[in-house]
A and B are shown apart, each in its own frame.
Chain A
Amino acid sequence: MHPVFVSVVSAEPDRVWVLLAALFFLFGSVYSAYALATGKALPRWVNLCALGAGFVLQTGFLYVRGHAIGRCPITNPFEVIVFMSWSIALIYLVVGSSYRLSLLGGFTAPVVAVMSLVALFLPASPPALPQAVNPWLEAHASFSMIACGAFALACVAGAMYLFQERQLKTRQPTSIFFRLPPINALTVANTRLLWLGFAFLSLGLAAGFCVGQATDAWKVGWSIAVWLLYGGILLARSQRRVAAKWVARLSILAFSLLLSTFWGIRFISETRPL
């Protein structure tokens, strides 16, 4: 075992939940990669079960940690990443499987596995001490995280769409092309996930305005910019002004911007509050 990891787990024993979840997600990733590479018609429920088991374990962690701190466990980077990967798994299990896009699960598993592993290697940061809970703040944070999960899945669906589209345009599709979902299904999934994420983000923002505490202008400005960005993509899509390919590209670009600026804005807001 990696020494950093061992020291962190001994400092925070509840991380074992996350470790076990990561192992299930890793198993799902390897299983899906094997099915995709060999073209064997392996049972799809195995990956679904692996994602489900990982999700249950992460829920266990969030419950234990939330119980300990008396609030939604998104108080430090470790908890934020775990909550985000939990949101992605949740959105997949609730939304992804209903589109029967089992391979979206195959692509989701590595994303949540990597996120869980990255979280595990973050330095130990003791849970925040219990304090008075503001339900609006809790709603704001959790809705925003679930929105991130939906946007992450929209990004995955967008990447799969671009891969499929590229294969069609080169006129030399590989065998993997025929094992991935049809591009029309990916377009529908991408758009619906964007709408879902946008709905949660809107709820999160609305809840944020109800918190009743002074909020840093950087964070407010950034949140509104993200909301406008996704809103703009959806508006263009709903009016059919852009082709599905551009929506897929923008889903990836928007999520990359969201991820890359999230920590920066946190840092700026803490060091140079407006």
Chain B
Amino acid sequence: MNIFCLGLSHQTAHVSVRERFAVPDAVLAEALQRLRTVPGVAEAVILSTCNRTEFYLAGYPERPTPETVLAGLQRQLVQGDREHFFQLAAAETARHLFRVTAGLESMVVGETEIFGQVKRAYHAAARLGVTGKYLNRLFQKSFQVGKDVRANTGIAKGSVSVGSVAVDLAMQIFGSLQGCNVMLLGAGETSERTARAFQARGARQLFVSNRSFARAESLAGLVGGRAVRFDRWEEEFVGVDILVSSTSAPHFLLTAAKLEPVMRRRRQRPVFIIDLAMPRDIDPAVHELDGVYLYDLDSLEVMAAKGLEARRREAELGEQLVLRHVREFGAWLEQASSGLPALGPGVRFEYPRPW
């Protein structure tokens, strides 16, 4: 008995390739049953997310290949596809899965969503009875590794995107966002992403203002907010705690002279202003006013980059923890099934062609 992993990920294939091999939830059960019919496959788990499609298999004596697996799924490889697939065996498979579950393989290192995705993939296969002794052990161990790495390193700490940095800063100003009103000036993609980030943390009310009122109404509808005519945004601003501005105005929309009386009307409640526009919408001088915190795209990006760098440093610690667990799993695998290769020290995975 041996264990294998083959598939493609954001590191080996472009999204246009990955999307052709994705296994949607609707056909997952059928695909798992089909895999069991592939020669050399006794156990199977399919992990299909937007960043990867991976087949975890256990079987004997044949070694499954992308061709046999995809043929079993009644899918075809076209010219050029083959080079995007990676194939791993035994302890290498364990190391790969442990890294995936811990978030070390993710596009944003340390993201936590993948842990739940791996869990769902395993449970879907286990419910169908297509897992057994080897994959059960492998996946249970991977959950242990995921928790271990996240608990004992700072891999999941800190913000690594402009939106999450902005939300974290807002939380450190207001504590909870539940009582906060958020206003979006400009209804572009960036505004929408940031609005959704604030909405996810429970912002009370979203106002959307845009030169095109129709566009403001459209975005307000999408995010469950209220559209405000562009010539009236300053009136609504008095009750706003967080302002996200990303218009294409050629001049400052908000200056210190304009904001000062507003702050008096706000009875000195703090305001957090996020200027994502280029050129900037907000006069940098407003940052000097008491209770006003202005962050532009540059300052948010610097913070996000620092967060990412910190995560990368922590990832080194995570790799060491993963290797320790792989050795433990390798020892179990050798005992459970003789004749399998143990993990060599400093083993490295060679992907066919990092994309």
Interface, chain A (partner B; CB < 8 A) = 39, 164, 168-169, 171-173, 175, 177-178, 181-185, 240, 242-246
Q: Using Cβ atoms and an 8 Å threshold, which residues of chain B touch A184?
A: 173-175, 270
Q: Using Cβ atoms and an 8 Å threshold, which residues of chain B touch A173?
A: 169, 172, 303
Is B290 an interface residue, CB under 8 A from the partner? yes
CA distance A39 to B173 in the complex (A): 19
B290 lies within 8 A of A245 (CB): yes
Is B295 an interface residue, CB under 8 A from the partner? yes
Shortest CB–CB separation between residue B97 and chain A, in angstroms?
27
Question: For chain B, which range describes its interface: under 10, 10 to 19, 20 to 34, or 35 or more residues?
Answer: 20 to 34
**Considering only CB atoms, which chain A residue lies closest to B179 in the complex?**
A184
A177 lies within 8 A of B287 (CB): no
Q: Using Cβ atoms and an 8 Å threshold, which residues of chain A touch B174?
A: 182, 184
Q: Render B184-202 as a binary contact track against A, CB cut-off 8 A, 1 for contact.
A: 0000000000000000000
Query: Which residues, 288 to 305 on B, are CB-close (under 8 Å) to A?
Result: 290-291, 293, 295, 299, 302-303
B267 lies within 8 A of A168 (CB): no
A169 lies within 8 A of B287 (CB): yes
In the complex, 30 of the A-B residue pairs with CB atoms within 8 angstroms, ordered by the A residue number, are: A39-B154, A164-B172, A168-B169, A168-B172, A168-B173, A168-B293, A169-B293, A171-B295, A171-B299, A172-B302, A172-B303, A173-B169, A173-B172, A173-B303, A177-B172, A178-B168, A178-B172, A182-B171, A182-B172, A182-B174, A182-B175, A183-B172, A185-B175, A240-B267, A240-B268, A243-B268, A244-B270, A244-B291, A245-B291, A246-B290
CA distance A175 to B302 in the complex (A): 14
A39 lies within 8 A of B157 (CB): yes
Shortest CB–CB separation between residue A181 and chain B, in angstroms?
8
Instruction: Apart from A184-B174, A185-B175, list 19 A-B contacts with CB within 8 A.
Output: A168-B173, A168-B293, A169-B287, A169-B293, A171-B299, A173-B169, A175-B158, A178-B168, A182-B172, A182-B173, A182-B174, A184-B173, A184-B270, A240-B268, A243-B290, A243-B291, A244-B270, A244-B291, A245-B291
Q: Using Cβ atoms and an 8 Å threshold, which residues of chain A touch B157?
A: 39
Query: Which residues, 326 to 350 on B, are CB-close (under 8 Å) to A?
Result: none
